[in-house]
Every structure is written in structure tokens, then in C-alpha cells.
């Protein structure tokens, strides 16, 4: 099956710093989503981004499908950004729902 690798596994920042999280995947994908799991365990969908660039407030994401990676940028980080960030992908050609394969996540801690 498809392999999804996220880096770094852990990241500690001071409030106000910027960061870049990376997701590499091993095959062509037709679906890529970024999720944030907050410290209480809730999973929130951040972006659907199989290619191109999107921005939502202080967060933005870029996927370069031909090179099989995606980046999540967090600017001016806040303590509420803490948690685990997951990248999830679906193989190209899948047509039944979205059978996502998740990476192991990046654990982000933002200190005040």
C-alpha cells in the first residue's frame, strides 16, 4: 500500500514562531487532506489539497503532486495550535468514498 511519512515527528515552538510540516507519499494520489487533532482528541479537517496551494488564516498548505509531497505552514503560532497534525492520502484511481491512509503525525507544542 501507499506509504505516508511526516516530518518532523515532534516540534516545539515559542508563541509567535513560524513552522513548516512536511508530508511525503510514495505513490500518485487523488486526495490529500490535513487534519489537526487537539489535545482533547478531537480531529478537525484543515485542508483538502491534492494539488496546489490554499490558505486559511494563519495556516496554508501546498501540495506538489508530481514530486509527491505536501507542506503545511503555520505562521505566528499560538498555544491553541498545539496538538498533532496528520496528513492523509488516497491512491489515485480509488473511486469508492475516500479510503485515506494516514501518516503518523507531527506532534506540535507551542509554548507561551
Partner 1 sequence: DAGITQSPRHKVTETGTPVTLRCHQTENHRYMYWYRQDPGHGLRLIHYSYGVKDTDKGEVSDGYSVSRSKTEDFLLTLESATSSQTSVYFCAISTGPRNIQYFGAGTRLSVL
Q: Which three cell numbers stand for residue 52?
A: 496546489
Based on CB atoms, which residue is closest to partner 1, 12 or 44? 44
99 and 1 in contact (C-beta within 8 Å)? no
Q: How far is the CB of 111 from partner 1 (least distance, A)?
A: 23
Q: Could you tell me whether strands 10-14 and 106-111 are parallel, antiparallel, or unpaired per DSSP bridges?
A: parallel
Q: Can you tell me the distance from the alpha carbon of 33 to that of 112, in angstroms, rounded to the nearest whole number?
A: 28
Q: How far is the CB of 25 from partner 1 (least distance, A)?
A: 13
Other residues' Cβ atoms within 10 Å of the Cβ of residue 112: 7
Which residues contribute to the site for partner 1 (CB under 8 A)? 1, 31, 33, 35, 41-45, 48, 86, 88, 90, 96-105
Based on CB atoms, which residue is closest to partner 1, 58 or 99? 99
Based on CB atoms, which residue is closest to partner 1, 56 or 96? 96
Amino acid at each position: 500500500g501507499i506509504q505516508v511519512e511526516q516530518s518532523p515527528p515532534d516540534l516545539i515552538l515559542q508563541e509567535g514562531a513560524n513552522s513548516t510540516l512536511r508530508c511525503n507519499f510514495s505513490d500518485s494520489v487523488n486526495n490529500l487532506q490535513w487534519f489537526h487533532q487537539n489535545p482533547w482528541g478531537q480531529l478537525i479537517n484543515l485542508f483538502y489539497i491534492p494539488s496546489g496551494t490554499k490558505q486559511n488564516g494563519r495556516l496554508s498548505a501546498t501540495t506538489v503532486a508530481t514530486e509527491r509531497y505536501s507542506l503545511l505552514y503555520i505562521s505566528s503560532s499560538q498555544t491553541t495550535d498545539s496538538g498533532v497534525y496528520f496528513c492523509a492520502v488516497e491512491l489515485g484511481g480509488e473511486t469508492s468514498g475516500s479510503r485515506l491512509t494516514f501518516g503518523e503525525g507531527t506532534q506540535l507544542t507551542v509554548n507561551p
